[in-house]
Amino acid sequence: MQFNKILFTSILIFSFTTVFSQIKGKAKHLPGTWVYAQGSGYEVWEIENGQLVGAGYRTNKIGDTVKVEKLGIKLANNRLFYTLETGIKNFNNSANTEHQFMSKARKLNFTNIENDLPNYLNYNFGFFNKNKLTITIWMDESIKKTKLKLRKKF
């Protein structure tokens, strides 16, 4: 009887700690390969240790693909934090720029908390189709926002 109480209590504690540390909501649709509608590249997202980890790749006109950004989304204090690292080190480029963004609650609407640009990022899935994704980037209020259309590759 005592053993059952201890087992039940430990399972309950474990489930609460794992449930609240995992990515939830719309972010759970993000893992996979997302191809840009213009055909200029793609993003790959996967879940590692309860966090979303991704990378952005660009394809040039002759078909060469280069990793250009490292992406990450993690949940902390009931908020999502988005990390964007550009200028991945390669033979020609050794300068990296890292941007930190924070969301309101668990929405995929991020505000830059460290640097000036870009100001905001928004990941928005299709209303009835979770295989369509629009990433909206606001660089500045005076500059028109940029919308990137992506489709999930199977």
Domain, as residue range, for 56: 24-153
- pLDDT reported for residue 14: 42
- pLDDT reported for residue 10: 46
Q: pLDDT tens across 81-123, in order?
A: 999 998 755 566 566 788 899 998 778 999 998 876 788 899 9
Query: Would 8 be classed as within a structural domain?
Result: no
Query: Would 3 be classed as within a structural domain?
Result: no
Q: What is the CATH number of the domain that holds 90?
A: 2.40.128
Query: Would 133 be classed as within a structural domain?
Result: yes
Query: Would 18 be classed as within a structural domain?
Result: no
Whether residue 54 contacts residue 71, with contact meaning beta carbons closer than 8 Å, is answered with yes
For the chain, how many structural domains are there in total?
1
- pLDDT reported for residue 90: 57
Ranges of the chain with pLDDT below 50: 3-21
Tally of CB atoms within 10 A around 28: 12
Query: Would 1 be classed as within a structural domain?
Result: no
Query: Would 141 be classed as within a structural domain?
Result: yes
